[in-house]
Structure 1
Amino acid sequence: MRPTLHPHLVNGRFGDPALFVELLHRRDSILFDMGDLSPLSARDLLRVETVCISHMHIDHFIGFDALLRVNVGREKRIRMIGPEGLIEAVGHKLHGYTWDLAHKYAEDLCFDVWETGGAAARFRFKAAFAGEALAEPFAVPGLTLTHAVLEHHGPSIGYAIAEPVHVNVWRNRLAERGLAPGQWLQALKAAVRDGAADDTVVATPGGQAPLGALRDLVSVEPGQKLAYVTDVADTPGNRRAIADLARDADLFFLESRFAADDEALARDRAHLTTRAAGEIGRAAGVRRLEPFHFSPRYEGAEERMLAEVREAFQHLPSMAGHG
């Protein structure tokens, strides 16, 4: 199975938290947190349509301006979700600039912002980003997003995103039928994923065909799941909630801020140690654990940190570098 979710730690394991997730055969991408985004190209930033914020500490939120700057003057909708206070924070960011020239643009950039407690608001460029009511629920097309409200110094939101199912295209069968791969396959996969009837018409490179005649081109498999948690205290409640959120994830990005023997420091700062991260990953039964958000005090000791996580996780065979 070719995975749908392709994550990349923008600043490696030591830098500001920001996880850029590309989606196979889709133009949009997802950001979990937005610390320093300067390593991302303008092309990458223009693909971002979903942003999931854990909390608004500066190292998780400073990249908002970079995302805003590259998208001003474009027809674009960016959905954001995060803890209580996110709507106010986004509003303050946007209102820090003067938008008296917005009427000269035909394009309308829109930030739709949801808080995990249920509040929602829309900020539109053409309205000088004045807050507007937003009634629709948060949703990422083709994917399911779940969250958990966790304890840090205040609330910190953990996330898990998953495909309901994974629809895999058999390229050899396409070739046998003389059908070229392309964007049309997204409509085919969506129809299969959504349980459409066999008589549903699907556009193909040669015209149109009923879904029933195209089903043999694909197979349906369990969907991929990715979880992301950072800046959380090591408490029994957090451990239970994190393990439930990340249960059976294929990839789990979990903060591991302090070394195992700095447990007292981790407790004081409301962060996890490498040992705690490994134990939580094991309890969640995740397939692959990716520790990150290492404290700068351990610069030059990355292998030691990874080894401590690996020892606690036990069955982790290897951890490929991200960043």
Structure 2
Amino acid sequence: MSLTNVVLGEAGCDNALFLRIDSGKSLERLLFDCGEDCASTLPFAEVSNVDQLFFSHLHIDHVAGFDSFFRCTYDRLTKPNHIWGPPGTAQILQHRFQGFLWNLQAGEPGEWRVSEIHESEIRTTRFDLGEAFSIAHQESSRPHQGIVWSGAGGTVKAFTMDHKTPSIAYLVEEHSRRNVDTSKLASLGLKPGPWLKQLKDASSDSPPLLIEGAPHDVKSLQDALMTESKGDSTAYLTDFLLDDSTMEGLAESLHGCGTIICEGQYRHADIELARKNYHMTTVLAAKLAKRAGVEKLILFHVSDRYARAEWQEMLREAREAFPNTHYPEHWGIETSASA
């Protein structure tokens, strides 16, 4: 399996995250936020095949590019159309759906579901293209117990943060990886072959596996040869107040995460302004990464109040707290100054 991340948008502009989970059997595409021009930077084939869209919150710089995404997918029938976000997302998205004239689509199929992530429950509302998205069908409610979505290749967890409005932090985790330890084959008197893939894909109660004409119990072979390792993980964090108590709780929830993609809206000298606006500084993001024991921190969503040289200084300051900190590579503003 593999998990790849692409930060969309340029420095000082709206940003989003496009994430792909490739399980080897399926490819799932997840989009986090949809700022202006973000979706339009992706190939049409990628946008039209996004499996799930997750909003952190619905401020304009996180939703302004939704029309580009919706234009590619509004009548999609090849896969479910599902959007996630904080309380109030269904009402705001219905306004976005109805911002166009649908006089030629009466009765046509096409369903959109919007799931609101509340503190203790997830409420899902359905909107139909054939009704011009005019009716909000209250479809279901279920307890919110951490994981909000589970796919073939991984899961998404959600945590409610404070941006003077609920802002959702997301953690994407690949399913555990199952591999065959071929170094143990000789001790069992077995040779490598196509049967190894069959063993990897089989369930423990599958019929005996034929190896060179001889039947072998699948569970016994899996116990002897299979190893399981933790999959990769990515956290998407943007636009919320990171005070001491939030830092402690979030660091625990993200402990051991592979990559954190986190806002770096303010330089640390402006921490009081950051707190006033319920944002982070690059240094606070780096301290969170260090405390959570993550592998890598990518800063994005930087403010255009700063010049390019200041962005570089903000990166240098962050690296003093957490050396493996970077901006998205395509921004081209990495500095050679390291901690």
Fold equivalence (TM over 0.5): yes
Question: In the TM superposition, what is the alpha-carbon distance from 1:200 to its structure 2 partner?
Answer: 6.6
Aligned partner of 1:162 in structure 2 is 173
Instruction: Give CA deviations for 1:44-74 in whole Å, capped at 9, x if unaligned.
Output: 1012111111110011111221111101333
Mapping for residues 17-28 of structure 1, pairs under 5 Å: 17-24=15-22, 25=24, 26-28=26-28
Q: Which one-letter code corresponds to 2:256 in the other structure?
A: D
Instruction: Give CA deviations for 1:161-211 in whole Å, capped at 9, x if unaligned.
Output: 11231235899x9xx6358x9xxx9xx87x66xxx3331799xxxxxxx96
Q: Which one-letter code corresponds to 2:313 in the other structure?
A: R
Instruction: Give CA deviations for 1:117-149 in whole Å, capped at 9, x if unaligned.
Output: 122111222343232232375523132221111
- Structure with more contact order per residue of length (Cα contacts < 8 Å, sep ≥ 6): 1
The 2-side partners of 1:69 and 1:219 are apart by 44
Q: Which has the larger radius of gyration?
A: 2
Matched, 1:198 2:205: yes
Q: Residue 44 of structure 2: which of 37, 42, 45 is its match?
A: 42
Kindly tell me: are residues 29 and 213 of structure 1, through their superposed partners in 2, closer, same or farther at Cα, counting changes over 3 Å?
Answer: farther
The 2-side partners of 1:22 and 1:250 are apart by 15
**Structure 1 counterpart SS, 2:15:** coil
Q: Which one-letter code corresponds to 1:309 in the other structure?
A: A
Aligned partner of 1:57 in structure 2 is 59
User: Cα RMSD between the aligned structures?
Assistant: 3.2
Q: Residue 120 of structure 1: which of 115, 121, 124 is its match?
A: 124
Mapping for residues 134-213 of structure 1, pairs under 5 Å: 134-135=139-140, 138-142=148-152, 143-168=154-179, 177=193, 196-199=203-206
Question: In the TM superposition, what is the alpha-carbon distance from 1:238 to its structure 2 partner?
Answer: 2.4
Gaps of 5+ in 2: 143-147, 186-191, 210-216, 331-339
Contact 1:50 1:140 in 2 (8 A): no
The 1-side partners of 2:87 and 2:226 are apart by 42
Aligned partner of 1:131 in structure 2 is 136
Contact 2:299 2:325 in 1 (8 A): no
Q: TM-score, normalization: structure 2? A: 0.77
Kindly tell me: are residues 217 and 93 of structure 1, through their superposed partners in 2, closer, same or farther at Cα, counting changes over 3 Å?
Answer: farther
Query: Identity of paired residues, percent?
Result: 28
Aligned partner of 1:33 in structure 2 is 33
Instruction: Give CA deviations for 1:10-48 in whole Å, capped at 9, x if unaligned.
Output: 114433131000122433300111112221121110121
Gaps of 5+ in 1: 203-209
The 1-side partners of 2:124 and 2:269 are apart by 42
Q: Which one-letter code corresponds to 1:86 in the other structure?
A: T
Q: TM-score, normalization: structure 1? A: 0.81
Aligned partner of 2:326 in structure 1 is 319
Instruction: Give CA deviations for 1:215-250 in whole Å, capped at 9, x if unaligned.
Output: 699753112121111001232232233223322100
